[in-house]
Chain A
Amino acid sequence: MTEEIIIAGFGGQGVLSMGKILAYSGVMQDKEVTWFPSYGPEMRGGTANVTVIVSDDRISSPILNEYDTAIILNQQSMDKFEKTVKPGGVLLYDPNGITRHPSRKDINIYKVEGVEEAAKMGNVKIFNMIILGAYLKLKPIVKIENVKKGLEKSLPERHHKLIPLNIQAIEKGMEIVNKAS
């Protein structure tokens, strides 16, 4: 099994940390993992993306032309990454702020109302965990108990009290993801 994922959105949406939690969950499940961020003079409000690769085998390039899954969280990223999904692959997106919806017919497109749901749950910061939940529903590459361990490993101790809320958000994401028509 090798799963190559791009997660792309605005800086400040938790794109990089969502990738890190997914990668750490992979480590906990005894997988090989690579987390490769776009780094640069980006800041809150700018674009941010990260490539995460989870595999049973040694991982080759962290730089990829195409992905098994693209998780897209803003319009700029949609414009840039819709075309990079492998035929038959998965595109997961939050329609919030999207003006041109994905149109490819050779990939599987799913929607998750992460921004809306996070607001309903009363904490915008758990947005990225709702998205992660939606992804894990579509591609259960790591077990939820290993995601819990991944959260413990990647969050500083002082934030550990928030882990139950994060898990709740992941479960919510799993519940509300649906196929775009």
Chain B
Amino acid sequence: MGELKLMKGNEVIAEAAIRCGCDGYFGYPITPQSEVMETLMARKPWETTGMVVLQAESEVASINMVYGGASCGKKVMTTSSSPGISLMQEGITYIAGAELPCLIMNCVRGGPGLGTIQPAQSDYFQACKGGGHGDYHLIVLAPSSVQEMNDFVNLGFELAFKYRNPAMILSDGAIGQMMEKVELADYKPRWTDEEIEKISGDWATTGKKANRKQHIITSLELDSEIMEKLNHKLQAKYKKMEEEEVRYEEIQCDDAEYIFVAYGSSARICQKSIQIAREKGIKVGLLRPITLYPFPTKPIQKLAEKVKGMLSVEMSAGQMVEDVRLAVNGKIPVEHFGRLGGIIPSPIEVVEALEQKIIGGK
């Protein structure tokens, strides 16, 4: 068993980065995720593993430093919160276009604009449907505990390198600020130059070798015929992700007549709501998407065959509910419940919404 600690979600992101052999972190402070860089600066990994930690002059600079590091086949990452992630969108679409692996953590706060510093889930569209321009996707992981914040750093890098695609951990202020027991991973050494050559040698800019052509990292292609082919290649990659990388958890779905669909901190709240509802005799379960992209469409379709209705619970005005509705395709009623602007719904509110919108509305 690994080392057990009590840590904040944000602190664990830093710890997991060091332990998984991350080469570089580039970031700019913003509440509610500033503990990530604070923890890294306190841990001084450049003295132990050699990991670079740099406070850039802005989020735009951070993501472009990530772009540079990723081009060299390095394990690099950044973290921010909603307004900062908006600033990064140009860099993110370039990284996706250039097919580079990297890890981004968004500790979501209420928007729009500068909004609030309290938790929200209103960046679902931005994370899952683009955010930047062009036809691209991020791999989006939604942790609902501090342990998953830890685990998804390593998983995010693994998937990013497997698909040469940016991965995002979509957290929120609640998961970031809360402390829980966490089992830390053992230290993995950073990749050596030889290992990088082996893993990413067919595309990374590691210095031109005599036996191969130069590698060029770009997202620009002025010949539309070629650009279309590149797009098809990206789409094929996303298709493969949709077939092979969907992750989700079902809680008390076996005998359920109704289903909550919720991720991240909302999924935690729904687990309490299930207890409360079941005490009242309402058989409800939870489908918790772990990957938001690729979305667990098929498991939701399957549940729609046997339940009477679904409630998508999100701290947004209703974003993921669109994907739930697409999956269900009109078979059963699907409604949304959420609080906005940094307000976290209480477990009882969620049960009341289920009663009013789904059970009462049938």
User: Which of B6, B177, B274 has a CB less than 8 Å from the CB of A36?
Assistant: B177
A63, B346: Cβ atoms closer than 8 Å: yes
A60, B271: Cβ atoms closer than 8 Å: yes
A20, B272: Cβ atoms closer than 8 Å: no
Q: Pick out which of these stretches binds chain A: B56-64, B178-186, B204-212, B238-246.
A: B178-186
A61, B6: Cβ atoms closer than 8 Å: no
Q: Pick out which of these stretches binds chain B: A27-35, A130-138, A164-172.
A: A27-35
A41 to B117, CA, bound (A): 9
User: Which of B5, B178, B272 has a CB less than 8 Å from the CB of A60?
Assistant: B272
A63 to B275, CA, bound (A): 14
B177, A39: Cβ atoms closer than 8 Å: yes
Of A23, A27, A31, A37, the most chain B CB neighbours within 10 A belong to A27
A3-37 CB contacts (< 8 Å) to partner B:
20, 23-24, 26-27, 31-37
- What's the least CB distance linking B219 to chain A, in Å? 38
B148-189 interface bits toward A, Cβ cutoff 8 Å, 1 = contact, 0 = none: 000000000000000000000000011001111100000000
A113 to B26, CA, bound (A): 49
Interface residues of B (CB under 8 A from A): 4-6, 32, 117-118, 173-174, 177-181, 265, 268-275, 344-348
A21 to B178, CA, bound (A): 14
A39 to B173, CA, bound (A): 9
**CB-defined contacts of A39 to chain B, threshold 8 Å:** 32, 117, 173, 177
User: Which of B117, B180, B274, B347 has a CB less than 8 Å from the CB of A63?
Assistant: B347
What are 29 A-B contacts defined by CB distance under 8 Å?
Answer: A20-B6, A20-B179, A23-B6, A27-B181, A33-B181, A34-B180, A36-B178, A36-B179, A37-B177, A37-B178, A40-B117, A59-B180, A59-B268, A60-B268, A60-B274, A60-B347, A61-B269, A61-B271, A61-B273, A61-B347, A62-B268, A63-B174, A63-B344, A63-B345, A63-B347, A64-B272, A64-B346, A64-B347, A65-B348
A64 to B270, CA, bound (A): 11
Q: Please, how many residues of chain A have a CB less than 8 angstroms from a CB on the other chain?
A: 24
B272, A61: Cβ atoms closer than 8 Å: yes
A20 to B118, CA, bound (A): 21
A136-165 CB contacts (< 8 Å) to partner B:
153-154
A-B pairs, 9 with minimum CB distance: A60-B271, A61-B272, A35-B179, A60-B272, A61-B269, A36-B178, A65-B348, A27-B181, A65-B346
User: Which of B4, B6, B268, B347 has a CB less than 8 Å from the CB of A35?
Assistant: B6
The chain B residue with its CB closest to the CB of A35 is B179
The chain A residue with its CB closest to the CB of B286 is A60
A44-71 interface bits toward B, Cβ cutoff 8 Å, 1 = contact, 0 = none: 0000000000000001111111000000
The chain B residue with its CB closest to the CB of A19 is B179
A60 to B180, CA, bound (A): 12
The chain B residue with its CB closest to the CB of A33 is B181
The chain A residue with its CB closest to the CB of B180 is A34
**CB-defined contacts of A34 to chain B, threshold 8 Å:** 178-180
Of A31, A33, A34, the most chain B CB neighbours within 10 A belong to A34
The chain A residue with its CB closest to the CB of B182 is A27
The chain A residue with its CB closest to the CB of B177 is A39
16 additional A-B pairs beyond A60-B269, A62-B178, A62-B265, beta carbons within 8 Å, are A20-B179, A23-B6, A27-B4, A27-B181, A33-B179, A34-B179, A35-B178, A40-B118, A60-B274, A62-B174, A63-B344, A63-B345, A63-B347, A64-B272, A64-B346, A153-B6
